[in-house]
Homo-oligomer: A and B are copies of this chain.
């Protein structure tokens, strides 16, 4: 499960939605700065969105302002386009691959098993940044949440999940987390399998997943961690669909910009510990 550690050299950035696109660009600037030396070209994938024509100009303007030499808004609305050789080629030459928000099920339905997705995974291994906001963040793990009303999520079966884009393993990612009060969604997931870390990202907040599987929080919002590994008990397996789920002993953290988390050690990192761990890596 942690083979990611050995084989990936690029950074993943999962953004909770509503990131600043017009002011300081703190999060998107960091996305661009993590581009590898071999390419500062950016591809933007708005496949998740039903209104790509409204989102794309905004992101194109952001990455132009940040200094990208070329910006490619990929036209991938269906599976035929996800197999298109020209789209694959644009991915192969780019250092930043950015997924907009929308519906994560559109992302996986259109990109799953495609040449475009294989090319993105290859670029991530080779050092490119893969970033996504909202649905684009939620789709990143091997298993994703795609639906489930927060108000009623702690009932068996209320959270809809499926296979994600498989850029990262061992976690589930939820977005707009504090703003939409989605704690119950990650609690249901944690009860269903305590091995998986719950990462809830607030608006204008993001986690950088470093190649050594250290999370770094950036932005003005919060990143919530729900760690179920020490779950003491839950009734989930005995319930019928719709019945309320009990959980005993999940661990909760709230991280702010500069704080971090070690995914595999399940350890909260203060700003000092995080910078030590990240500088170790580069020395």
- Quick check: A254 and B178 within 8 Å, CB to CB? no
Q: Assuming A182-B181, A250-B251, is B256 touching A244 (CB within 8 A)?
A: yes
A184 nearest CB neighbor, chain B only: B178
Copies of this protein in the assembly total 2
Number of contacting residues on A, CB 8 A?
37
Tell me if A247 is interfacial: C-beta within 8 Å of chain B. Answer: yes
Interface 1/0 per residue, A249-266 and B, CB below 8 Å: 111111111010000000
A257 to B245, CA, bound (A): 10
19 pairs of residues in contact across A and B, judged by CB atoms under 8 Å: A151-B181, A154-B178, A178-B184, A181-B183, A187-B252, A187-B254, A220-B244, A222-B246, A233-B268, A233-B270, A244-B254, A245-B256, A246-B254, A246-B255, A246-B256, A249-B268, A250-B251, A251-B252, A252-B252
A→B interface (CB under 8 Å)? 150-154, 178-184, 187, 220-222, 226, 232-233, 235, 244-257, 259, 268, 270
